[in-house]
């Protein structure tokens, strides 16, 4: 998981190796979940840090942009629901405690904000 996905600054998901078709479907679905304050989706922001899929279910490891994000609970639930819809199996959310920073965003997005 330490090697980044080419073209992004996010770590590769375990599911991209074990089930690339479902991982790709999930990525497209999660692109619908937007952080209301930043106006970017959870994929663009790099908030989805890992996905593990097996026959019985899936675990999505996710972080938030700030520890006390007022939209955090609703975003976590939206990600869980969308993941269950896309993967057609139960999904749990593993809330990571990693500190988010702008370098986790997809390449080129920070330039719009004058960050890089």
Give the model's pLDDT for residue 2. 44
Helix, strand, coil percentages, rounded to 5, for the chain: 35, 20, 45
pLDDT tens column, 4-51 = 554 456 789 999 999 999 999 999 999 999 999 999 999 999 999 999
Give the model's pLDDT for residue 4. 55
Phi-psi category of 57—alpha, beta or left, where left has phi over 0 and alpha has psi -120 to 50? left
Give the model's pLDDT for residue 86. 97
Class for the domain spanning 14-105: alpha beta
3-state secondary structure of 101: coil
pLDDT tens column, 62-114 = 999 998 889 999 999 999 999 999 999 999 999 999 899 888 888 767 655 55
- Domain segments of the chain as ranges: 14-105
């Amino acid at each position: 998981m330490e090697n980044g996905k080419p073209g992004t600054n996010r770590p590769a998901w375990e599911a991209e190796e074990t089930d690339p078709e479902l991982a790709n479907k999930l990525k497209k679905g999660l692109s619908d979940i937007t952080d209301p304050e930043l106006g970017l989706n959870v994929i663009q922001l790099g908030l989805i840090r890992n996905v593990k899929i097996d026959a019985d279910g899936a675990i999505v490891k996710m972080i938030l942009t700030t520890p006390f994000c007022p939209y955090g609970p609703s975003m976590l639930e939206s990600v869980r629901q969308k993941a269950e819809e896309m993967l057609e199996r139960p999904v749990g959310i593993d809330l990571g405690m990693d500190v988010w920073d702008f370098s986790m965003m997809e390449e080129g997005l920070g330039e719009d904000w004058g960050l890089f």
